[in-house]
């Protein structure tokens, strides 16, 4: 992770000098994480790809505004978060059921279907804010401080959302755990 940050910082320095290939390299290092973060928020692969592209484009356009090169990750995810919520505000009235179905089907190809369905169903029962806290912490591995930076809220609020979500998930996933792991 430290080496990754050092390499990112070097690439960002080159991007600031106008090196587009350095930015493409940076994109290739982050695109899967950003895509999966957006996929777990939106549930739509197509929307997630579009939003990822928009987020990276904004990152490229505003790279000079990044104060600390070592904070590129949270800064990029802040942009992606804003893109996702801007998208939700525009699209809220009509959600695409086909995308939701596809989202539920696709993970089942690699792991036991009942487990993935249980986890997906449990995540779906969370509020969007709780789900995002879980995604950033459990799936993306961000620290509380970084999450606070991404979501622009205090660490105490982050913890409250995450731990409430985990209490709910614990109840939902306990039977699944006992069946799946034993």
Partner 1 sequence: MTCNTDLLRDYAFDELPAADRPALQRHISECAGCAAELDQLRLTTAALRILPDQEPPQRIAFVSDKVFAPSRFWNLAPWFGFASAAVMAATLIFTVTHRPVEIRTLVQTASAQPIDDIVKKAVAETRAQTRAEDAQLFNARLEASEAKHDKEHRYLVEALAVMQQSLNTNVLMASSATSQTGAGQ
Which x/- pattern, by CB under 8 A, does the window 117-146 give for partner 1? Answer: -xxx--x----------x--xxx---xx--
Minimum Å gap between C-beta 119 and partner 1 is 5
36 forms part of the interface with partner 1 (CB under 8 A)? yes
By CB under 8 A, which span of 46-54, 65-73, 78-86, 90-98 interacts with partner 1?
A: 46-54
CB 164 within 8 A of CB 130: yes
Please tell me the distance from the alpha carbon of residue 26 to that of residue 35, in angstroms, as a whole number.
14
Residue of 9, 63, 66, 115 that binds partner 1 (CB under 8 A): 115
Residue of 60, 66, 82, 164 that binds partner 1 (CB under 8 A): 60
- Exposed, middle or buried, 3 (CB in 10 Å: 0-12/13-18/19+)? exposed
Please tell me the distance from the alpha carbon of residue 159 to that of residue 145, in angstroms, as a whole number.
10
Minimum Å gap between C-beta 94 and partner 1 is 22
CB 115 within 8 A of CB 176: yes
182 contact partners, CB below 8 Å, separation of at least 6:
none
CB 34 within 8 A of CB 76: yes
CB 103 within 8 A of CB 43: yes
Q: Which CB, 82 or 180, lies closer to partner 1? A: 180
| Residues of the shown chain interacting with partner 1 in the complex, contacts defined by CB under 8 A | 18, 20-21, 23-24, 27-28, 31-33, 35-36, 39, 45-46, 48-49, 52-53, 56-57, 60, 106-107, 110-112, 115-116, 118-120, 123, 134, 137-139, 143-144, 159, 163, 166, 169-170, 173-174, 176-177, 180-181
């Amino acid at each position: 992770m430290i080496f990754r940050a050092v390499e990112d910082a070097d690439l960002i320095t080159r991007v600031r000098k106008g090196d587009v290939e350095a930015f493409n390299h940076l994109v290739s290092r982050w695109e899967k994480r950003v895509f999966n973060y957006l996929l777990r928020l939106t549930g739509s692969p197509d929307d997630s790809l579009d939003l990822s592209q928009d987020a990276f484009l904004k990152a490229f356009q505003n790279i000079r505004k990044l104060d600390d090169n070592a904070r590129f990750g949270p800064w990029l995810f802040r942009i992606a978060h804003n893109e996702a919520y801007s998208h939700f505000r525009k699209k809220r009235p009509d959600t695409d059921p086909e995308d939701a179905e596809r989202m539920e089907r696709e993970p089942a190809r690699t792991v036991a279907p009942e487990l993935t369905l249980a986890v997906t169903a449990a995540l779906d029962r969370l509020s969007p804010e709780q789900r995002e806290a879980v995604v950033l912490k459990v799936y993306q591995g961000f620290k509380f401080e970084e999450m606070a930076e991404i979501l622009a809220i205090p660490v105490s609020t982050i913890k409250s959302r995450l731990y409430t979500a985990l209490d709910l998930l614990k109840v939902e996933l306990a039977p699944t755990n006992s069946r799946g792991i034993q």
